Amino acid sequence: MAKHSNIKTSAEFRRVYNLGKRYDSRLMTIFVLPNGSLNHKLGLTASRKAIGNAVFRNRSKRILREMFRLSLIQTDNLQQKYDWVINAKRKLLGVKTQDAIGDFLKIIAVIMRDEKAVSGEAGK
């Protein structure tokens, strides 16, 4: 059983883009929005402009999906559950999945730090 579900509609994607927080890395751009649910929700994009033909876009999304799956323990350590929209960048195709996971874990660490900063401000 998956510990996340998928973001499917364009309205869900737009909501995360408009209301979520953006994190950029070398291989991807990530938008996160707390969802108040028991599970994370995942949406993946690989645009024709950024990635190219359908074969490469599908490969990029497979890499991102596997990266997210292998990082579920770290995402579950976050204080909140989020809607995640992950946009692939062209450089993603030239690296191994482990490099993508490393990039993703750095972003998770930043999100965790942001959560602590917000909860620290609320405690004042």
> How many domains does the structure of the chain reveal?
1
- Containing structural domain, residue 15: 4-122
pLDDT at 121: 65
Are 12 and 37 spatial neighbours (Cβ–Cβ below 8 Å)?
A: no
Q: Provide the Cα torsion 105, 98, 61, 15; round to 10°.
A: 0
Domain of 18, CATH number, reads 3.30.230.10
Tell me which amino acid residue 107 is. Answer: I
| CA pair distance 38, 75, nearest whole angstrom | 12
Which residues on adjacent β-strands are paired with residue 4?
40
| CA pair distance 101, 65, nearest whole angstrom | 11
Q: Is the dihedral of CA 103, 114, 44, 40 positive or negative?
A: positive
pLDDT along the chain (124 residues), means of 10: 78 96 96 93 95 94 94 92 96 93 96 86 58
DSSP state string for 58-74:
HHHHHHHHHHHHHTHHH
Task: Say what angle helices 97-122 and 54-70 make with each other, to 10 degrees.
Answer: 50
Token couple for 116: 């602590």
Token couple for 81: 């559950």
Are 86 and 16 spatial neighbours (Cβ–Cβ below 8 Å)?
A: no
